[in-house]
Amino acid sequence: MPLCPLDFRYGRPEMKVVFDEETRLQRLLDVEAALAQAQAKVGNIKQDHADIIKKTASVRYVKLERVREIDQKINHEITALIRALSEQAGESGKYVHIGATSNDILDTAQALQIKDAVKLIDSDLESLKRTLAKRAKEHRDTIMIGRTHGQYALPITFGLKLGNYALEVHRHQQRLRECSPRVLVGKMSGAVGTGAGFGSKASDIQKEVMAQLGLGVEEGPTQIVARDRYVELMSILANISCSIEKFATEVRNLQRGEIAEVSEPFDESCQVGSSTMAHKRNPVTAENVCGLARIVRGFMQPSYESAILWHERDLTNSSAERFFVPHSFILVDDMLTKLDKLFAGLVVNIEQMQRNLVRAGSVIMAESVIMALVSKGMGRQEAHELIRKCSMECQRECENFRTYLMKNSSVTSLLSEKEIDAAIDPKSYLGNAGHTVDHILKILS
């Protein structure tokens, strides 16, 4: 009976297959095959034996059920794998796993899985980045109210908001690519990392195995690949989850009834928002990814703890990694693809953005008026205090900010009615917003 939600609710098949049990078995077999080929290349075994091992190192011959059967008896999965492979290799089976230790196989196979998973995440980030960039270009000049501390601040454009998101995704992509050479490494250096079991050709064997598999080499092995590499990778995935939740939280806030500036795509022909409130159109995708993002960040603690091992290694990392490595990748992939679809279909209510600007009132243009006064010779601090008092009185008495300005002789002695109107026009106070969007799009192109 399935118990984990990944089995029946979350995750895409493309990522799940990377970490499923049979794929893992094949990756373990791939490493054993590469080891045999490397042993043959340096002259430790005959090429014919290496070729037979390579041919039989496949889930077509080494069945998962047989490996499980042996493992249940001996309680050691890699020895079970070795025995199952040796059975299929016949006389050549005596040359399987020579000189290696379990984590030579386990860590290198896991690096192959992570390599495939990183490729998918990179593709996800690229797609989301392009979607956000496209929507940023579309809304380059769509003016809206900016908010700080949850309060009305100054006018911005929706394109600037989305452009900043696209650039953030771009940085995650850079981080993932930059860390890959440090993370995508394997080892073939035997127990405690000395390579003694491989003899005088130990270094050559390790290099040849990793070259065959397309992985880097752990330059300073113990019995395992150093886990600071995993900490870096998991930190990047957790960082990505922070951005995912940040973007999704903004959608949730802007979809609130009292704001209503954007909304998730909603299929009116069949989609149900609530089992009882038939009018509801909830931001369910945004809420879903916010919840999953917290699970990913929760895996950071065991990933840190798993880097702290006794001497040349112990086994405390193994069980934890079986959870946090596949789960983190599957969930991040799931969230990124959902978020991509969400922003691709995001409904932007430009009219409501304009209404909210009007509702905020011209008092939000206080800084613009301060700058106008400063340009006429008033000191910055004096201008700030003058307009602060005007804005406080205006809001307290629920009166029009323009009216207050026109009644204030300190303002009108420096600014004409036309200049006041220009200062409180939101469209005139967008600064470099449009140019910033253009610059971001150029970076991403």
Decide if pLDDT at 183 tops 90: yes
Q: Render 346-361 in DSSP notation, one character per residue.
A: -EE-HHHHHHHHHHH-
- Across 110-248, where does the E strand assignment appear? 143-148, 151-157, 185-186, 216-217
What token pair was written down for 39? 């042993």
Active-site pick, 149, 279, 311, 416? 149
Q: Find the farthest-apart pair of alpha carbons in the chain and give their distance in angstroms, rounded.
A: 102
pTM: 0.95
What is the C-alpha to C-alpha distance for residues 313 and 223, in angstroms, rounded to an integer?
6
Q: Which pLDDT score is estimated for 1?
A: 80
Residue-level length of the chain = 445
Q: Which pLDDT score is estimated for 277?
A: 75
Decide if pLDDT at 275 tops 70: no
Q: Which pLDDT score is estimated for 131?
A: 98
What token pair was written down for 360? 């905020």
One-letter amino acid of 276: T
Average pLDDT, the chain: 95
Segment of 218-222, 235-239, 269-273 carrying the highest mean pLDDT: 235-239
Q: Which pLDDT score is estimated for 278?
A: 64
Tens digits of per-residue pLDDT, 291-319?
A: 999 999 999 999 999 999 999 999 999 99
Q: Which pLDDT score is estimated for 268?
A: 66
Please return the burial class of 320, using the count of CB atoms within 10 Å of its CB with bins 0-12, 13-18 and 19+: middle
Domains of the chain, start order: 5-95 (1.10.275.10), 102-265+279-349 (1.20.200.10), 361-444 (1.10.40.30)
Q: 205, 198 in Cβ contact below 8 A?
A: yes
Across 16-25, 202-211, 229-238, 265-274, least confident range: 265-274
| pLDDT, average across residues 249-265 | 95
pLDDT interval class at 265 (50, 70, 90): confident
Tens digits of per-residue pLDDT, 61-71?
A: 999 999 999 99
Q: Are strands 347-348 and 143-148 parallel, antiparallel or unpaired?
A: unpaired
- Give yes or no: 170 in active site: no
Q: Which pLDDT score is estimated for 274?
A: 61
| pLDDT, average across residues 19-40 | 98
Q: Give the number of other CB atoms < 10 A from CB of residue 431.
A: 12
- Which residues, including other chains, have CB under 8 Å from residue 271's CB and lie 6 or more apart? none
Across 343-357, 366-380, 397-411, least confident range: 397-411
Which H or E run includes 311? none
pLDDT interval class at 175 (50, 70, 90): very high
Active-site pick, 76, 274, 319, 428? 274
- Give yes or no: 274 in active site: yes
Please state the φ and ψ torsions of residue 270, each to the nearest 5 degrees: -150, -20
Nearest CA among 27, 25, 49 for reference residue 36? 49
Q: Which 8-state DSSP code applies to residue 427? A: G
When comparing pLDDT for 283 and 186, which is higher? 186
Q: Determine the straight-line distance between the first and last CA of the chain, rounded to whole angstroms.
A: 48
Please state the φ and ψ torsions of residue 185, each to the nearest 5 degrees: -130, 150
Q: Which pLDDT score is estimated for 271?
A: 72
**C-alpha separations of 415 from 312, 371, 377, 394, 420 in Å:** 75, 11, 11, 19, 6
User: Is the Cα dihedral 362, 368, 373, 376 positive or negative?
Assistant: negative
Q: Which pLDDT score is estimated for 282?
A: 85
When comparing pLDDT for 283 and 111, which is higher? 111
Q: Which pLDDT score is estimated for 399?
A: 80
Q: Render 190-207 in DSSP notation, one character per residue.
A: -GGG--GGGGGGHHHHHH
What token pair was written down for 306? 């798993």
Please state the φ and ψ torsions of residue 152, each to the nearest 5 degrees: -55, 135
What token pair was written down for 76? 């050691």
What is the C-alpha to C-alpha distance for residues 82 and 79, in angstroms, rounded to an integer?
5
What is the C-alpha to C-alpha distance for residues 89 and 53, in angstroms, rounded to an integer?
6
